[in-house]
């Protein structure tokens, strides 16, 4: 919904507000406030140091959130001299996907995290600032408010330091809270005069100014109370009173938001006043107004711009003359332009004149955070109401609203006395008989309610969409009967022997582990990228070793020994097609979905362009050979990215063949892969034994000889650790099965193991021949006879049939018909004892043995 389009931002101009303060150390000129002005709209946003801002990022829908720490001008920067220093916050969606689970709960919809990472670049160009936003710090035990509609407010509860989520450090929490409180205090209406004293964050000069101002305003407002309609003189007075207070943001025309938004926590209010022509005796722009805006909670300050007229002396005051205002005003006069903050729960404030320009509103609501600016065309006449009235209103509000409204009131107060009045005025002015009475409050409330009612139609709320398959969560039903644990020694052993049971450490791969660890660690420390190729026959622990390395590195990263990194794993076998690898990487990296081509482009952008400084990414590509394509573009890209300096990508590739790079890769690909290679040798028998012993450390289920036997057998066969474990597992079953007493099965002996090995590896051909029918056996004999006769290893069915008939006659078997023999031949072919041509060749189909002749003879002789 909130979509911060870059296009809209391009037309904004940024300027400093206030006089520069020279920073002695850095020789920068620092500022306390800046203003953003959007072309085409005569509105501007003021942002002060200490406020929370939204900063343009990769994702238009979720701009970065940060707290403004400093504003300064840096001549050394080429493009934008106006710089800002910020303290970042991080959204949940910006947390690397692989680490999101560390939160351990579902993030709140508007939850953000204090980003505790000193290495992160906090120096940004002010031009990337989109607007203000409110951030509320919550104590660890507070419940995350669920306020789906209030997109402009974020909640901070935890900090994130790239490794884990921690509660906010007390000082940070206090700081954030103070900001909020400052706000409140500021706005205490009743204490307008003392306010400044209470606001610690302001400089004394500011305080002074404010005090003066507030005094002025109160006096003024007192004045006005009785003469609502003659604002001019007062205004002038007021204007002149603080022309030179660049940094203050107490706006005489404060927001009336407090009145309007009783139930909301934060809002900015902007208002405009309506001015009826009749009231405007001075159409010369005497009074333009300024929007008041503020993100109260964040900075605690109210921003406002002052109006100005000719008297304005300080150009940098940030006020804007609105020459066009009068005209606009006139057109709008009869309308009700007041604007009201948005109602319940929505954070945006309302902008006057909205009604006239629906599209404006829409746009604005779209970017709620920016809302705090001014009503575009408003020039307003300030009317000040009396303090008395104000008080009365406030009291009423207190009754009406809940405690929050109180806060709101307070928040807005600083500006408030006047602004409240203003709003009332506005209301009043729209009504034929302006009366400033408490009623107007209720009117305000009503209008705010109205606006809240209206808004939904303008910005249709997102209704929960019906569940689409796309959102489906991949999950297998869970069982309601819990799985049983092992009940005896053998079951325990079986559980530990399962390949899936991950041991605490991988024995016998220490050297390989160290090599890979060193490689990745050095790349992490150097912040560079690189490739490594790991080969080895299946079941030699390649993937397991890499997993363990990553695991150790992640622990090291948590302990701050190495820089944090992001780990991604793809498997060529788990892809439907080589190019899908891009999709998978992108999804695991950022959580986004894209088509293969688009994903490739995004990844290339990410890895090959400057400035995308992220943490190092470690990418494990398993079953590399499956990524082979005709053009080899996938492999090329995978190995090319790490060569870019900015990519900081470490690619670990795994495949079975040692010479894969030479065999299937083009030169330009294998050259990029480099020569960092590692080969996992098949396990030797002593290693296999060690593996078994380490898994069975505290379980006495096997005889020592048995373990020795299986280790040697497997080492001689393949050196595949999986085989070894499977055989042992099967042996425990056989042991259990053969044991009479189920309670105390004995140890697994060599006999059991031999049986298991026999079962798994003995060729089934001989048993199959032994168990075949008489006719099948004689057909096999006939084949052998025919081979011997012809001296070839192949014969047609016809030839074999002749032999077969002769054989049957000799053995006294009934005469085999052609159909029967054909069926026999097909059956043997189906089991692959014979290799036969498809049956369409009929009697001419060629037949050969799929077993050695000796085996057949052996099997037939036994009988």
Partner 1 sequence: MSSRKSKSSNLIQADYISQVQRILRERFCHQSPHGNLFGVQVQYKHLIELLKRTAIHGESNSILIIGPRGSGKTMLINHALKELMEIEGVSENILQVHLNGLLQINDKIALKEITRQLNLENVVGDKVFGSFAENLSFLLEALKKGDRTSSCPVIFILDEFDLFAHHKNQTLLYNLLDISQSAQTPVVIIGLTCRLDILELLEKRVKSRFSHRQIHLMNSFSFPQYLKIFKEQLSLPSVFPEEIFAEKWNENVQSLSEDRSVKEVLQKHFNVSKNLRSLHMLLMLALNRVTPSHPFITAADLMEANQLCSMDSKGNIVHGLSVLEICLIIAMKHLNDIYEEEPFNFQMVYNEFQKFVQRKAHSVYNFEKPVVMKEILVRYLGWEDPLQRG
Specify the stretch interacting with partner 1 by CB under 8 A; choose among 26-34, 346-354, 488-496, 601-609. Answer: 488-496
What are the angstrom distances between the C-alpha of 718 and each of 125, 161, 373, 763?
61, 46, 73, 16
Among 759, 789, 792, 841, binds partner 1 (CB under 8 A): 759
Are the beta carbons of 425 and 228 closer than 8 angstroms? Answer: yes
Please tell me what DSSP assigns to residue 702.
B
Is residue 551 within the footprint of partner 1 (CB under 8 A)?
A: no
Binding to partner 1 (CB under 8 A) within 720-749 occurs at 720, 722-723, 726-727, 729-730, 733, 737
- Pick the closer one to partner 1 by CB: 388 or 844: 844
Binding to partner 1 (CB under 8 A) within 22-51 occurs at none
Is residue 538 within the footprint of partner 1 (CB under 8 A)?
A: yes
3-state secondary structure of 136: strand
Specify the stretch interacting with partner 1 by CB under 8 A; choose among 2-10, 142-150, 681-689, 755-763. Answer: 755-763
Determine the angle formed by the axes of helices 685-695 and 721-738, rounding to 10 degrees.
60
- Pick the closer one to partner 1 by CB: 54 or 583: 583
Tokens of 2: 């909130």
- Backbone torsions φ then ψ of 685, nearest 5 degrees: -65, -35
Tokens of 259: 């009145």
Alpha helices (H) along 120-169: none
Is residue 500 within the footprint of partner 1 (CB under 8 A)?
A: yes
As measured in angstroms, the least distance from the Cβ of 124 to partner 1 is 36
Distance between CA atoms of residues 471 and 459, nearest Å: 24
Among 100, 454, 584, 853, binds partner 1 (CB under 8 A): 584
- Pick the closer one to partner 1 by CB: 170 or 812: 812
Binding to partner 1 (CB under 8 A) within 603-632 occurs at 623, 626
- Pick the closer one to partner 1 by CB: 449 or 860: 860
What are the angstrom distances between the C-alpha of 498 and each of 494, 688, 696, 715, 729?
6, 15, 11, 19, 7
Specify the stretch interacting with partner 1 by CB under 8 A; choose among 288-296, 324-332, 346-354, 476-484. Answer: 476-484
SS3 annotation, 768-785: HHHCCCHHHHHHHHHHHH
Specify the stretch interacting with partner 1 by CB under 8 A; choose among 127-135, 287-295, 684-692, 715-723. Answer: 715-723
- Pick the closer one to partner 1 by CB: 371 or 624: 624
Binding to partner 1 (CB under 8 A) within 430-459 occurs at none
Among 463, 764, 810, 861, binds partner 1 (CB under 8 A): 764
Tokens of 772: 């075949």
β-strand 616-622 against 846-849: which pairing, if any?
A: unpaired
Binding to partner 1 (CB under 8 A) within 792-821 occurs at 798, 801, 813-814, 816-820
As measured in angstroms, the least distance from the Cβ of 625 to partner 1 is 10
| Residue for token pair 């205490």 | 188
Distance between CA atoms of residues 673 and 667, nearest Å: 10
Binding-residue total with partner 1 (CB under 8 A): 82
At a CB cut-off of 8 Å and minimum separation 6, what does 566 contact? 96, 98, 99, 589, 614, 615, 616, 617, 618
Distance between CA atoms of residues 690 and 541, nearest Å: 14
Specify the stretch interacting with partner 1 by CB under 8 A; choose among 220-228, 257-265, 304-312, 767-775. Answer: 767-775
Is residue 773 within the footprint of partner 1 (CB under 8 A)?
A: yes
Is residue 464 within the footprint of partner 1 (CB under 8 A)?
A: no
- Pick the closer one to partner 1 by CB: 686 or 798: 798
Specify the stretch interacting with partner 1 by CB under 8 A; choose among 26-34, 302-310, 508-516, 773-781. Answer: 773-781
- Pick the closer one to partner 1 by CB: 21 or 495: 495
As measured in angstroms, the least distance from the Cβ of 858 to partner 1 is 16
**What is the chain's alpha carbon radius of gyration, rounded to the nearest angstrom?**
40
What number of other Cβ atoms are within 10 A of residue 293's Cβ? 36
- Pick the closer one to partner 1 by CB: 463 or 819: 819
| Residue for token pair 């916050």 | 89
In the shown chain, the binding pattern of residues 651 to 690 toward partner 1, with x for contact by CB under 8 A and - for none, equals: -----x----------------------------------
- Backbone torsions φ then ψ of 391, nearest 5 degrees: -60, -40
Determine the angle formed by the axes of helices 542-558 and 510-526, rounding to 10 degrees.
50
């Amino acid at each position: 919904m909130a979509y911060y389009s870059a296009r809209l931002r391009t037309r904004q101009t940024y300027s400093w507000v206030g006089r520069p303060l020279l920073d002695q150390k850095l020789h920068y000129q620092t500022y306390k406030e800046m203003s953003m002005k959007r072309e085409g709209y005569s509105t501007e946003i003021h942002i002060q140091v200490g406020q929370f801002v939204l900063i343009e990022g990769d994702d238009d829908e979720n701009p970065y959130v940060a707290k403004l720490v400093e504003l300064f001008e840096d001549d050394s920067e080429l493009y934008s001299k106006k710089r800002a220093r910020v303290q970042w916050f991080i959204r949940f969606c910006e947390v690397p996907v692989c680490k999101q689970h560390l939160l351990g709960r579902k993030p709140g919809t508007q939850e953000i995290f204090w980003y505790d990472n000193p290495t992160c670049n906090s120096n940004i160009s002010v031009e990337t600032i989109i607007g203000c936003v409110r951030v509320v710090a919550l104590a660890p035990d507070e419940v995350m408010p669920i306020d789906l509609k209030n997109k402009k407010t974020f909640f901070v509860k935890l900090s994130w330091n790239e490794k884990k989520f921690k509660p906010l450090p007390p000082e940070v929490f206090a700081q954030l809270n103070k900001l909020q409180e400052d706000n409140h205090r500021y706005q205490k209406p009743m204490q307008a005069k003392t306010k400044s004293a209470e606001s610690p964050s302001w400089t004394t000069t500011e305080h002074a100014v404010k005090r003066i101002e507030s005094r002025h305003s109160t006096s003024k407002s007192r004045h006005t109370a009785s003469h609502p309609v003659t604002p001019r003189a007062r205004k002038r007075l007021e204007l002149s009173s603080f022309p030179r207070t660049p940094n203050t943001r107490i706006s005489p025309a404060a927001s009336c938001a407090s009145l309007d938004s009783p139930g909301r926590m934060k809002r900015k209010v902007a208002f405009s006043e309506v001015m009826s022509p009749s009231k405007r005796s001075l159409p010369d722009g005497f009074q333009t107004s300024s929007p008041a805006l503020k993100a109260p909670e964040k900075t605690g300050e109210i921003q406002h711009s002052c109006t100005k007229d000719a008297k304005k002396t300080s150009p940098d005051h940030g006020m804007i003359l609105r020459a066009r205002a009068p005209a606009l005003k006139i057109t709008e006069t009869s309308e009700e332009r007041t604007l009201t903050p948005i109602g319940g729960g929505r954070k945006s404030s309302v902008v006057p004149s909205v009604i006239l320009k629906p599209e404006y509103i829409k746009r604005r609501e779209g970017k709620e955070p920016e809302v705090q600016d001014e009503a575009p065309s408003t020039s307003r006449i300030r009317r000040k109401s009396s303090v008395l009235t104000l008080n009365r209103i406030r009291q009423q509000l207190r009754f009406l609203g809940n405690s929050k409204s109180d806060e709101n009131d307070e928040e807005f107060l600083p500006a408030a006395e006047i602004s409240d009045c203003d709003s009332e005025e506005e209301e009043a002015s729209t009504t034929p008989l302006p009366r400033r009475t408490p009623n107007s409050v209720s009117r305000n409330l009503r209008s705010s309610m109205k606006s809240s009612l209206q808004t939904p139609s303008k910005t249709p709320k997102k209704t929960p969409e019906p569940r689409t398959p796309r959102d489906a969560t991949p999950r297998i039903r869970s069982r309601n009967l819990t799985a049983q644990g092992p009940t005896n020694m053998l079951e325990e052993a079986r559980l530990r022997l399962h390949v899936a049971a991950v041991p605490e450490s991988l024995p016998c791969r220490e050297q390989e582990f160290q090599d890979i660890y060193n490689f990745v660690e050095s790349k992490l420390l150097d912040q560079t990228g690189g490739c490594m190729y790991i080969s080895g026959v299946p079941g030699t622990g390649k993937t397991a070793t890499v997993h363990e390395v990553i695991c150790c590195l992640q622990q090291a990263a948590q302990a701050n020994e190495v820089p944090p990194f992001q780990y991604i794993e793809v498997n060529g076998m788990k892809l439907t097609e080589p190019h899908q690898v891009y999709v998978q990487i992108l999804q695991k990296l950022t959580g986004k979905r894209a088509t293969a081509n688009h994903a490739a482009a995004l990844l290339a952008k990410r890895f090959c362009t400057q400035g995308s400084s992220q943490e190092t990414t470690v990418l494990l590509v398993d079953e590399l050979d499956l990524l082979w394509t005709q053009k080899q573009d996938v492999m090329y890209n995978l190995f090319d990215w790490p060569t870019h300096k900015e990519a900081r990508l470490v690619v670990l590739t795994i495949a079975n063949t040692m010479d894969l790079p030479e065999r299937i890769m083009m030169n330009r690909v294998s050259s990029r892969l480099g020569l960092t290679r590692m080969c996992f040798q098949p396990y030797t028998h002593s290693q296999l034994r060690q593996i078994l012993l380490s898994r069975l450390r505290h379980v006495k289920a096997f005889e020592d000889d048995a373990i020795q036997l299986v280790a040697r057998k497997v080492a001689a066969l393949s050196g595949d650790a999986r085989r070894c474990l499977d055989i042992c597992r099967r042996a425990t079953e056989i042991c259990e099965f053969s044991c009479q007493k189920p309670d105390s099965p004995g140890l697994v002996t060599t006999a059991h193991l031999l049986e298991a090995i026999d079962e798994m590896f003995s060729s089934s051909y001989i048993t199959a021949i032994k168990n075949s029918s008489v006719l099948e056996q004689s057909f096999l004999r006939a084949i052998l006879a025919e081979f011997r006769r012809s001296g070839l290893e192949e014969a047609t069915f016809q030839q074999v049939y002749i032999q077969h008939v002769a054989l049957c006659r000799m053995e006294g078997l009934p005469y085999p018909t052609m159909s029967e023999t054909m069926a026999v031949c097909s059956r043997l072919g189906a089991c692959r004892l014979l290799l036969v041509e498809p049956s369409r060749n009929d009697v001419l189909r060629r037949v050969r043995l799929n077993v050695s002749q000796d085996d057949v003879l052996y099997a037939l002789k036994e009988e």
